[in-house]
Amino acid sequence: MYLGIDLGTSEVKAVVIDAQGSLVALAGSTLNVARPHPRWSEQAPADWWQATCDTVAKLRTQLGSERFGSIRAIGLSGQMHGAVLLDERDEVLRPAILWSDSRSAPECAELESRAPRLHGIAGNLAMPGFTAPKLLWVARHEPQLFARIATVLLPKDWLRLKMTGRKVSDPSDAAGTLWLDVEGRNWSDELLAASGMRRDQMPALVDGSAVSGSLLPEVAQAWGLRSDVIVAGGAGDGAASAVGIGAVKPGDGFLSLGTSGVLFVVNDRFRPNPGRAIHAFCHTLPQRWHQMSVMLSAASCLRWFCRLCSVDEKSLLAEIEQLDEQACNNAPLFLPYLSGERTPHNDPYATGVFHGLTPEHQRAALGYAVLEGVAFGMVDGLDALRAAGTDVAELSLVGGGARSAYWAQLLADALQVRIVTHVGSEAGGALGAARLAWLADGGDEAEVCRKPAQQALYQPDPARHAALQARLQRYRAIYAPFAPLHGEGH
């Protein structure tokens, strides 16, 4: 069997699959994000390790020690861009700065100035979520700590260090640092130097389906596994989710509605489009790349609204589904920029907006506006991908938002593409990580990376698509007048 561990922002999730690829166990442990200052997001790596060990123990209890002990390989998936800073003894120097942290916005302009070839080499704009600007911020604000940095690791790769004693990453996760030559799939000395970093401070790189090391004896013993269990290179969470959903061939794509929202399409070559805030990254499998549009708040917008209104998601969705077409057309508009935005605005200071509120609006209408606003954000992402020469007719839907049939149909209508949900899609990046473990153990890609069974198909409704266009144009018009009000001090 194969174990996949996904280090998310809000949870460590892990799955076990058998030799036929069937999901046999799933468990998770929650995580909290510290926000000590506005626009800061941090986590203690020690909490990741505790949550990982707790989750592994839950799987072992589910399966029984003997069955759990038959695991042959482990794969890793994780939140991208986070900066784990280690000293020469591999001790953590400070809490990890996460992907959702936007404190380094001023350093992005500095990085662009220091590295004029950044866009062509890294394939991306400098954004506060990426790793490199975080290190410029540390150098400026914590210079004594910066001087002690011996190694920078991404979150899942710090877990690997704890598991194997080895410092290794994979191209898909490394592409999110702004230190990688994305086309060449190797570190760029030019980009590292622009951040005051060196190649010897970086981990080694292996493909996600390659072997990166074996479990340390003490970890194997604590987890009830053999010491010859191998650990695959793994992937950043987007690429891992792609492997889990079977998006491994050029043209394959998926839409993820998690804390953030991701529209991911596989390419056979490096195709950057930084001008539209599209991410061009390496896929975790050899000689493949992918493009990605990213919204920083997606299903998290719905969770936020439910907390605000003291209602659970299931009840709110039931209320929304009772709305008729006229009520939806008269609902307010919602900009889903609760944590700033990447695609298409690249604006870390953007904020959420309800526009068009009247005394007649009830909770359900605002809830619909939230679902629609996230869908319109995805439309903006797809338009940016199309401007880069990439188009899709069908997308797999994964993440927490995939549980809502109403939202899935709204996405199909807004995007005018077929939306497919799959059995077991809630496993997400953890399933992809387990599949990468299977590949590292000698599995055949065609067998391992097949698409999971289809659960439901949502065909776009041309009439509903046409009706949404007027609201989409109003949605797009709202952002520009508010943009000058964003930024420091507002």
How high is the mean pLDDT of the chain?
Answer: 94
Read off the pLDDT of each residue in 71-95 and give the average, rounded to a whole number: 98
> 3-class SS at 92?
strand
Tell me what percent of the residues of the chain surpass a pLDDT of 90: 82
The predicted pLDDT at position 486 comes to: 66
pLDDT grade for 448, boundaries at 50, 70 and 90:
very high
In degrees, to the nearest 5, what angle opens at C-alpha 21 toward C-alphas 20 and 23?
A: 120
- 3-state DSSP percent of the chain in helix, strand and coil, to 5: 40, 20, 35
Read off the pLDDT of each residue in 453-476 and give the average, rounded to a whole number: 96
> How far is CA 412 from its chain centroid?
21
- Which residue in the list 101, 157, 170, 237 is annotated as catalytic? 237
pLDDT grade for 399, boundaries at 50, 70 and 90:
confident
Rounded Cα distance, 278 and 420, in Å? 23
Catalytic residue list contains 237: yes
The predicted pLDDT at position 273 comes to: 77
pLDDT grade for 332, boundaries at 50, 70 and 90:
very high
Read off the pLDDT of each residue in 265-282 and give the average, rounded to a whole number: 85
Rounded Cα distance, 459 and 408, in Å? 10
pLDDT grade for 490, boundaries at 50, 70 and 90:
very low
The predicted pLDDT at position 340 comes to: 87
Q: Examine the pLDDT at 44 and tell me if it is beyond 60.
A: yes
Q: How would you classify the pairing of strands 289-295 and 279-282?
A: antiparallel
The predicted pLDDT at position 398 comes to: 86
Rounded Cα distance, 259 and 299, in Å? 5
Q: Residue 222 gets which letter from DSSP? A: H
Annotated binding site for substrate: 80-81
Rounded Cα distance, 476 and 471, in Å? 9
- Is-contact 333 369, C-beta < 8 A? yes
**Residue-range domain boundaries for the chain:** 2-238
The predicted pLDDT at position 196 comes to: 96
Q: Examine the pLDDT at 348 and tell me if it is beyond 50.
A: yes
> 3-class SS at 121?
helix
Q: What are 226's two structure tokens? A: 């053999």
Q: Tokens 């690429």 label which residue?
A: 239
pLDDT grade for 400, boundaries at 50, 70 and 90:
confident
Taking alpha carbons only, the member of 21, 383, 445 closest to residue 249 is: 445
Rounded Cα distance, 367 and 372, in Å? 9
Q: For the purposes of burial, counting CB atoms within 10 Å of the CB of 370, is it exposed (0-12), middle (13-18) or buried (19 or more)? A: buried
Rounded Cα distance, 114 and 137, in Å? 14
Which DSSP string corresponds to 2-27?
Answer: EEEEEE-SSEEEEEEE-TT--EEEEE
Alpha carbon distances (Å) from 72 to 17, 18, 170: 11, 10, 20
Q: How would you classify the pairing of strands 73-78 and 235-236?
A: parallel
- Is-contact 384 295, C-beta < 8 A? no
Annotated binding site: 80-81
Q: Examine the pLDDT at 427 and tell me if it is beyond 80.
A: no
Q: Supply the CATH classification number for the domain 2-238.
A: 3.30.420.40
- Is-contact 293 273, C-beta < 8 A? no
